[in-house]
Amino acid sequence: NQPSARLLSGFSIPLVGLGTWKSAKGEVGAAVATALRQGYRHIDCARIYQNEHEVGEALAAVLSEGVVRREEVFITSKLWNTDHEPSRVEAACRRTMEDLRVSYLDLYLMHWPVSGNSGPEVVPALEDTWAAMEALVRGTRGLVRTIGVSNFSIVKLERLLKKARIVPAVVQAHPYWRNDALRRWAADRGIHLTAYSPLGSPDSAAITKRDEATVRSPLKDEVVAQAAQALGKSPAQVLIRWAVQRGTSVLPKSVQPGRIRSNLDVFDWEIPADLYDKLCSLEYQHRMVDGGFFISPQGPYRTLQDLWDEHP
Ligand code: A2P
């Protein structure tokens, strides 16, 4: 039984989930099947990853083998920007569920606070999209057990919470980009955080193409290497364990069986306090996945500052 955290919705989220962002078609299905056979009980998906159909095939195959039951697996997916219109939300969710071959989702996230429109405000308003997501949880429909958001700043979360009837239970964050303020904010409210790109997503085109020379990889960090050596673990295991010790769930992506297995092996050892503290105070910080592709002079996000609401 994998350790898990309790969400405000009352459901539990297993702490290590398999990431499927960037997992190629033809590879992702095998990765999901391997992960479930190795003991993963949490798979992180999204419509925009364009591989949900193959994830669904693998999931169905493993479920039919009896390796695991549907209720034992936590499946997340995400509403894409082009489906924010309240009248489109349920259909988008159902399409994802059809691809994933599930009768309910454990978690459905608004992927970005972005709908792709130009103009001064996000249209439809994020609150309206959220209300449509709430309707997926309520009543007889019950398509979704828990809803949440991803890539939201504290300012945007607070704005949403003024209107939201169901509290967003999961907010994704980048662990190498520690996001300390957001973590504190969430902890104060009992809101669970999930860390994505825990290895710094070295395979992300958005990261490798831009600033190749300046963006450093946490997998190659010196303190991480020091901890790995001291503990007899791999750098990836140190990064994943660090996220778990920090109280977040975490979504390492891999399509390689050996890595899939070792990335889950983070529960029967721990990073000692001195090394943990060092890892929590690395000076180098860089928001790897910065959403720069959503910045437009026509708005609503003209600058990264508009998107993340942070003072530079
Ligand atoms: P691969 O899928 O070939 O294993 P993130 O989870 O931060 O998005 O990072 C995913 C990237 O890290 C992928 O390129 C993945 O490659 C690689 N990766 C996953 N697990 C490990 C590991 N244990 N050691 C080194 N690299 C890894």
For residues 109 and 115, what is the distance between their CA atoms, to the nearest angstrom?
A: 14
Q: Which residue ranges of the chain lie beneath pLDDT 70?
A: 139-141, 173-175, 205-214, 311-312
pLDDT given at position 196 = 93
Told to judge if 49 belongs to the known catalytic residues of this protein, a careful annotator would answer yes
Residue of 203, 207, 234 best suited for mutating to test ligand 1, as the one with most atoms within 8 Å of CB? 203
For residues 291 and 152, what is the distance between their CA atoms, to the nearest angstrom?
A: 11
The amino acid that residue 219 corresponds to is: L
- Ligand 1 pocket residue status of 174, Cβ below 6 Å: no
Report how far ligand 1's centroid is from the alpha carbon of 252 (Å): 7
Cβ neighbours of residue 13 closer than 8 Å, sequence gap 6 or more:
4, 5, 7, 42, 74, 106, 107, 170, 192, 194, 249
pLDDT given at position 205 = 66
For residues 41 and 50, what is the distance between their CA atoms, to the nearest angstrom?
A: 21
From the list 49, 108, 176, 196, the catalytic residue is 49
The amino acid that residue 51 corresponds to is: N
For residues 90 and 80, what is the distance between their CA atoms, to the nearest angstrom?
A: 12
**pTM score, whole prediction:** 0.95
- Ligand 1 pocket residue status of 197, Cβ below 6 Å: yes
Report how far ligand 1's centroid is from the alpha carbon of 32 (Å): 14
pLDDT given at position 166 = 84
For the complex shown, is ipTM > 0.90?
yes
pLDDT given at position 207 = 57
